[in-house]
A and B are shown apart, each in its own frame.
Chain A
């Protein structure tokens, strides 16, 4: 008996091996796609409304299309689902005329109502779209997405009633329209004026504590937030009704469908980049029927999803690959040359490079720094790599709420004591450019003002003037960065330069990403690394970050004059004057130096020479629908333009 048991072992082991080989191979060999590229980490979702980030950007852009669509070369917004549009003279009203042949991947037409539905869904706080601020340029959109907190007495409101907790989570509850009379807090006290503003801005507010008194058709009614489960189990308190949520009335938000083919947007302020934003993926439409039938996130399953872009997904294997194929219902299908595209979810840039060099993929967007230097130095020069500056800036934040950074002379001295040429030329070496401004160069009509350049003697003088001659008495300062070898190398170099040039002592500290973000937000640092990627091609995307108390300011710095200029620029209809206001604002920022800009990132694409329709641009955006494959390679690739 025992012997039999023992003799079974080899058989079990053999079976396990055969089974695992079988399993490993059961996915089978696929015919390769027309175009395969490395897309970085697994995308968070295929739902345009809830994602942020570059891999998601590439994916959503292939699957969906907005009202406008960016030119692959210049990134200028051109016709997308909208064929043409009219802009009113005050630049506040945009009317879009949709093309007749725009269709969903199930063959049904894309209508103006689809856009209104998607925009509303995007703004709905329950959708929890982190990017919702991209739509806040539309009148009252910010207020709508602020939910009950953003409401003030007198507002027209819509009360969404609770639904059955088992219903698909994408179904909206019944709406009751009315006017907000007053808000009562936990103790039954009426909240008004500043007290209300203050309570509403408190992040720890428990909105279930509030009672919203609303005059509806049925007279004055009292509503209180309740989630669907507790609303289905508990009776509301006497004289009150449960509400799933209470929002500004949608009619007061500046968007409406005039008919099936016409949409009108009214904006808060003239926004020169509004057309560009409509071509940015968070504002892409989703199909109401699909979302409501399957619920979220199940509607994004490959079997369920309905999209309106040049491609539709064929299969998705988590952290492996997603294949998309041409969408036969796409209006511009004639001009989509690729029949299938594989998105590889490969995270390591070294692995990506190996795949590229062995011919497995056609495009990688990131190359490890050490390899990049070697590749760039190759002779004769390679015909598939051409780094260009991007709309991204690498800089250090200074915590001005702490000594000695409260002194502008110290901040300037720190900036002047840095040799950026050594940083970009010796350490980085991919063609990064030193920068002395927050806004990267290359935006049309905007020449960023320059902060102080390297000047060690002047830096020492300023430091002495601030009370620290030759660095004596200067406290040890600490540079915080998120764990990454690249950031570490930079921090070490800056530390060395500061110690050498100013005679101060500097420590470095690294924290992993989540802790790092929270330290930065709580001003729990002296000096901290930061990189900022422009959301749209306009200086404002960088500059509005540093208004007093701004959510992403994280330095404690504020300047009323600066705030005034940013606010004035937001409402200025004349484009030249507007850029001038922004220029003045950045001059103040660079003069006070709560931040020290170092350099602008460069793109690190490697693209097979046979791939055409791929152009370098400052936002590193390369729509897949524009690509084609030219096996003959007759002409030089436009991607290589500018590289000698």
Chain B
């Protein structure tokens, strides 16, 4: 167990370093820099702007300085665009918000997805099953912004129940959590159904039924427990994605999370901020995958950690 964790930690470092290096090279090879503006900036001013971020140094030296700062001093540097804030501060402000929303969305996705998946599988072929599967397919196919648009029309304008955007109250959480969770719910429902059908066709299910165990118990205990593994492996990366925020949902509902920075910092050539969010995502994704591997051992005694 300890050896397993130690090995994973070692690989985490290697992964972070590789991601750092690739991002560093990619960012510097895209045309346009962080201080290129529509209106030209005087050379002396630009030099001082660049000097502040070591951009006036040779690329290799920049690489060394940045590597040391990030991995040794745990400082992601100063944002190039939001000049008042450090990257660490931006992440401290944004991550908890994205994560809180993400956990709610994921809770909704898992509970709703597993429930409909189980119902669907247990009542295979019924009208309810067809209906739920249609809804799940729609949930996967419809992009976030369409779902969000429809929801806003319905619940903000036609039936004025919920606020249009913002962050801070319970009512402001409902729509974004739903829109963020909906595609995941649909995916979870689909996976649960497939895996459930697979488990239910096994001999031990028939044996259990023959012993006289109630249908509900067979489905929920014998069937469900054995069909959770694929759901869990889907959840690892999904949770990493959802915790670090979503560009679309955050923009539509005006939520001050992290998701927007993934795209915006790259477009603005904000080298430090985009490096920060990329590394953060790597860390979260890696951790989630690690947790998923650990949970396999709990969920299925046959799996051994090595």
Is A21's CB under 8 angstroms from B37's CB? no
Residues of A within 8 A of B49 (CB): 128, 130
17 pairs of residues in contact across A and B, judged by CB atoms under 8 Å: A29-B169, A44-B83, A47-B83, A50-B83, A125-B44, A201-B43, A297-B83, A346-B165, A347-B251, A515-B31, A516-B32, A517-B38, A518-B33, A518-B36, A530-B38, A552-B39, A552-B40
Is B82's CB under 8 angstroms from A348's CB? no
A28 to chain B: closest CB distance in Å? Answer: 7
Q: Which among B298, B299, B301 has the greatest number of chain A C-beta atoms within 10 A?
A: B298
Is B164's CB under 8 angstroms from A146's CB? no
Residues of chain A touching chain B, judged by Cβ–Cβ distance below 8 Å, are: 2, 5-6, 13, 16-17, 19-21, 23-25, 27-30, 42, 44-47, 50-52, 125-130, 132-133, 145-147, 149-150, 201, 203, 205, 207, 227, 297, 300-301, 317-320, 344-348, 350-351, 354-355, 357-358, 360, 512-519, 521, 530, 551-552
A513 to B33, CA, bound (A): 11
Q: Which among A46, A130, A347, A355 has the greatest number of chain B C-beta atoms within 10 A?
A: A130
Is B82's CB under 8 angstroms from A17's CB? no
Is B173's CB under 8 angstroms from A351's CB? no
Residues of A within 8 A of B277 (CB): none
What are the nearest 7 A-B pairs in CB distance?
A514-B32, A551-B40, A354-B164, A320-B256, A20-B100, A20-B103, A319-B256
A205 to B47, CA, bound (A): 10
B167 at the interface (CB under 8 A from A): yes
**What are the interface flags for B228-239 relative to A under an 8 Å C-beta threshold, 1 for contact and 0 otherwise?**
000000000000
Is A354's CB under 8 angstroms from B165's CB? yes
- Which residues B41-85 have CB closer than 8 A to chain A? 41-49, 51-52, 81-85
Stretch from B10-18, B91-99, B117-125, B135-143 forming part of the interface with A: B91-99
Residues of A within 8 A of B2 (CB): none
Q: Find A348's partner among B51, B52, B252 (CB 8 Å cutoff).
A: B252
A5 to B298, CA, bound (A): 7
Is A27's CB under 8 angstroms from B167's CB? yes
Is B256's CB under 8 angstroms from A351's CB? no
B268 at the interface (CB under 8 A from A): yes
Q: Find B254's partner among A5, A24, A351, A530 (CB 8 Å cutoff).
A: A351
A557 to chain B: closest CB distance in Å? Answer: 16
Is B45's CB under 8 angstroms from A297's CB? no
Residues of B within 8 A of A13 (CB): 107
Is A133's CB under 8 angstroms from B301's CB? no
A13 to B108, CA, bound (A): 12
B280 at the interface (CB under 8 A from A): no
Residues of B within 8 A of A354 (CB): 152, 156, 164-165
B298 to chain A: closest CB distance in Å? Answer: 5
B115 at the interface (CB under 8 A from A): no
Known: A21-B104, A145-B42, A318-B85. A518 touches B32 (CB 8 A): yes
B188 to chain A: closest CB distance in Å? Answer: 14
B260 at the interface (CB under 8 A from A): yes
A512 to B251, CA, bound (A): 19
Is B269's CB under 8 angstroms from A514's CB? yes
Residues of A within 8 A of B81 (CB): 44
Is B256's CB under 8 angstroms from A317's CB? yes
B281 at the interface (CB under 8 A from A): no
Residues of A within 8 A of B298 (CB): 2, 5-6
A583 to B83, CA, bound (A): 40
A14 to B42, CA, bound (A): 57
Q: Find B45's partner among A19, A130, A346, A517 (CB 8 Å cutoff).
A: A130
Q: Find A515's partner among B30, B38, B89 (CB 8 Å cutoff).
A: B30
A301 to chain B: closest CB distance in Å? Answer: 8
B287 to chain A: closest CB distance in Å? Answer: 15
B253 at the interface (CB under 8 A from A): yes
Is B52's CB under 8 angstroms from A203's CB? no
A20 to B100, CA, bound (A): 4
A147 to B42, CA, bound (A): 11
Residues of B within 8 A of A517 (CB): 32, 36-38
B249 to chain A: closest CB distance in Å? Answer: 11
Known: A128-B45, A150-B44, A517-B38. A21 touches B170 (CB 8 A): yes
A551 to B40, CA, bound (A): 6
Q: Find A355's partner among B32, B45, B165, B301 (CB 8 Å cutoff).
A: B165
Is A351's CB under 8 angstroms from B44's CB? no
Is B167's CB under 8 angstroms from A514's CB? no
B241 at the interface (CB under 8 A from A): no
Q: Find A318's partner among B36, B42, B93, B160 (CB 8 Å cutoff).
A: B93
Is B164's CB under 8 angstroms from A351's CB? yes
Q: Find A16's partner among B51, B103, B252, B301 (CB 8 Å cutoff).
A: B103
Is A351's CB under 8 angstroms from B36's CB? no
Residues of B within 8 A of A24 (CB): 97, 100-101, 104, 167-168, 170, 173
Write the chain A residue with the least CB distance to B162.
A358
- Beyond contacts A128-B52, A201-B43, A513-B32: 18 other A-B pairs, Cβ-Cβ < 8 A, are A5-B298, A13-B107, A17-B104, A23-B100, A28-B168, A29-B168, A126-B48, A128-B49, A203-B43, A203-B46, A297-B83, A318-B89, A318-B94, A319-B260, A320-B256, A350-B252, A360-B165, A517-B36
A147 to B44, CA, bound (A): 7
Known: A319-B256, A358-B163. A30 touches B168 (CB 8 A): yes
Is B94's CB under 8 angstroms from A319's CB? yes
Is B253's CB under 8 angstroms from A513's CB? no
Is A348's CB under 8 angstroms from B93's CB? no
Write the chain B residue with the least CB distance to A553.
B40
Q: Which among B38, B85, B268 has the greatest number of chain A C-beta atoms within 10 A?
A: B38
A21 to B170, CA, bound (A): 8
B90 at the interface (CB under 8 A from A): yes
Residues of A within 8 A of B43 (CB): 149, 201, 203, 205
Is A27's CB under 8 angstroms from B107's CB? no
Is B45's CB under 8 angstroms from A318's CB? no
Residues of B within 8 A of A346 (CB): 165, 254
Q: Find A125's partner among B45, B84, B160, B269 (CB 8 Å cutoff).
A: B45
A96 to B304, CA, bound (A): 81
Is B33's CB under 8 angstroms from A514's CB? yes
A360 to B82, CA, bound (A): 26
A610 to chain B: closest CB distance in Å? Answer: 20
Residues of B within 8 A of A348 (CB): 251-252, 254
B262 to chain A: closest CB distance in Å? Answer: 13
A134 to B79, CA, bound (A): 25
Write the chain A residue with the least CB distance to B110.
A13
B160 to chain A: closest CB distance in Å? Answer: 7
Q: Find B267's partner among A27, A147, A514, A551 (CB 8 Å cutoff).
A: A514
Residues of B within 8 A of A317 (CB): 93, 256
A200 to B100, CA, bound (A): 53
Write the chain B residue with the least CB distance to A531.
B38
Residues of B within 8 A of A132 (CB): 42, 45
Write the chain B residue with the least CB distance to A356.
B164
A512 to B263, CA, bound (A): 12
Write the chain B residue with the least CB distance to A348.
B251
A358 to B160, CA, bound (A): 9
Write the chain A residue with the least CB distance to B45.
A128
Residues of A within 8 A of B30 (CB): 514-515
A129 to B46, CA, bound (A): 9
